[in-house]
Amino acid sequence: MNGNLIMKTMRSMSLLNTDATPASFWITHPDNSFVGNHAGGSDRYGFWYDLQNHAMGPSANRNICSRNSRVGEFRNNTAHSCGRYGLRIFHDMVPREYPCRSIKRDFSKPDDPYHKNRPITANFHNYTSFKCGRNGAIAGKVGVVKFNNFKTADHQSAGIEFSEAH
């Protein structure tokens, strides 16, 4: 998605639970491109990476592991005046070579202990957020996730908050 403007995303109390916490950009698989988009005035989130263990619903597939998949391009995006978060990464984002395989430390290879399923770096570039109800950006459990050239201002709680980094 490139060059979009989404304004005043409103919640609904009559549909799914996730409809009560809407996002202007609701992302359920991270390997997508978001460049030059603007989210303004959402009741909850501007950009929401809502990553589950596996694809659910009509597309259910145990071979799709969103939480550990490669992250596509995220560059030059803006979120402002969102009710809670401009950018939310939830639940986990731990990208690695083989998303559905576990990561096990191999003590026999101290130079590359995760050689059987290496982590992949997820880069988020040139994000701007301001006047959100809680944070400009918040992340739950993340692996090698880099926020590059983030600009946040005038949020209620914090510019950027991480719960757990691995």
Mind listing the pLDDT tens digit for each residue in 111-127?
888 888 999 999 999 99
Rounded to 5 degrees, φ, ψ at 34 are -130, 105
With cut-offs at 50, 70 and 90, classify the pLDDT of residue 33.
very high
Residue among 90, 8, 102 at smallest CA distance from 46:
8
**φ, ψ for residue 163, nearest 5 deg:** -90, -45
Strands laid side by side in the 122-125 sheet: 34-35, 74-75, 122-125, 145-148
Q: What is the mean pLDDT of residues 40-66?
A: 87
Distance separating alpha carbons of residues 121 and 145, to the nearest angstrom:
6
147, pLDDT greater than 90: yes
pLDDT of amino acid 120? 94
The pLDDT confidence band at residue 16, using thresholds 50, 70 and 90, is: confident
Share of the chain above pLDDT 90, in %: 70
Confidence of residue 153 (pLDDT cuts 50, 70, 90): very high
Whole-model pTM: value is 0.91
